[in-house]
Amino acid sequence: MKYKTYNCNSFNIYTIKTDRFKTSHLEVIFKNVLKKEEIGTYSFLADMLSEGCKKYPRKKDLITRFEELYKIVIYASTMRVGNVIDLHVSLDFINPEYIEDEGYIEDVIKTLFEVILNPNVCNDEFDLKTFNIVKERLRREINSLKENPVKQSIKEAIKTMDSNSPTSYEILGTIEELENITPAKLYNAYKSLRKNFKVDVFLIGNLDMDNVASLIKKYFKNRYIVSDNFEVMVDNKETKKVKEKTMKSDNIQTNLVMLFNLKNLSELEKNITLNCFNYLYGSGGLTSKLYKSIREENSLCYAINSMYLKYDGLLMVQISLDQCNVKKAISLVKKELKKMQNGEFSDMELNDAINNMIISLDMSLDNNVAILNNYVFNIYDNLPLIEKRKEYFKEINKNDIINVSKKIKLNTIFTLEGKDS
């Protein structure tokens, strides 16, 4: 794979040339500091951009154009990365070597920027018909989250830890925020996206990158230069006393969430060691310490998992169980962490975790989107590229895991009590 960067003054184009795939993938990424009152608006905006533009005002018009270009796909989405919100406009298209049309690549790039730069707007408002369709769909999505007990328990646990933490922000926003969005407010958000967000373009495929870069420069007339000096990491503060809260629900099962702070981690610990620890501790499925202790040996739960939230500085343990087993499960979660801190895991278990990390990275090399996303985080956050990460994983030893486990401190215990109680 060959990496090359093109500087275009107000944005950069980062490319990876590879002949491993028959399709190419391009992402235009807008980034800005996250504001709670705006996060739902930008999720709404991403959906609106996916629905049509001035030249192709209805979804069916856009799909017809995609079909004409050999079934290209353009879609937009938002994600929260710590303190930062990303809005991605993504494009998948067939490599031009399989298309007998010299103007194919230019038509594809031109269509992408029609969607981004010329939204379906009239009199400084987004098209009302499309607006109402998207709003109703988002309303259903937001309401459906309330019916998911796992997601509900995680949300409430984070709010218990710190209701003002960006970790607690809903990427779709709330129903109240949604109802306050108007076509005019949404267009103001679009203008802010263009003017106030840092923007870059990422591209992977078997392409003449010089030619594609020149086409992007031709059709992406971005006038605004925005700094990307963002503080990505969320500072979720430690607590002197563990916070505990219980809420009742209409769910059958009880859901338990435990949040742990991760402090004073080195870059290597953030990017490599913590992932390996997490696999050993709770994310490694049937082989993890938590699964063996709490489900297999003591039959206390229906499901158990741990998640490492790098940009939030948190480790989260989530357990679905009966209410009568909550206290014992909490005790065993703490016990298994203490055992990790004491080095009570075998070299074989550690090697298995390392090998699984490397296998997972190897599998990601079969996916052009995964390779590109790794490059995105390499550019924005100095995350090592895949081959380098594999080398780092191979160098992990037992003391590395012990040391990082000692930097994990319990912050919050939240229980969403089910009817089983």
pLDDT at 94: 97
pTM here is: 0.94
Q: Which CATH class is domain 2-219?
A: alpha beta
Question: Residue 92 and residue 75: Cα distance in Å, rounded?
Answer: 9
CB neighbour list of residue 21: distance below 8 Å, 6 or more residues apart:
95, 204, 205, 206, 368
> Residues 13, 216: contact at Cβ < 8 Å?
yes
Question: Residue 338 and residue 159: Cα distance in Å, rounded?
Answer: 26
Measured over the CA atoms of residue 105, residue 111, residue 112 and residue 113, the dihedral's sign is: positive
Partners of 74 in the β-ladder: 91
Q: Which fold has domain 243-417?
A: Cytochrome Bc1 Complex; Chain A, domain 1 (3.30.830)
Question: Residue 254 and residue 43: Cα distance in Å, rounded?
Answer: 31
Question: pLDDT by residue for the chain (421 residues), tens digit each?
Answer: 999 999 998 999 999 999 999 999 999 999 999 999 999 999 999 999 999 999 999 999 999 999 999 999 999 999 999 999 999 999 999 999 999 999 999 999 999 999 999 999 999 999 999 999 999 999 999 999 888 999 999 999 999 999 999 999 999 999 999 999 999 999 999 999 999 999 999 999 999 999 999 999 999 987 788 877 788 999 999 998 999 999 998 888 999 999 999 999 999 999 999 999 999 999 999 999 999 999 999 999 999 999 999 999 999 999 999 999 999 999 999 999 999 999 999 999 999 999 999 999 999 888 999 999 999 999 998 899 999 999 999 999 999 999 999 999 999 999 999 986 5
Question: Residue 365 and residue 382: Cα distance in Å, rounded?
Answer: 19
- Give the residue extent of every domain in the chain: 2-219, 243-417
Q: Do domains 2-219 and 243-417 have the same CATH topology?
A: yes
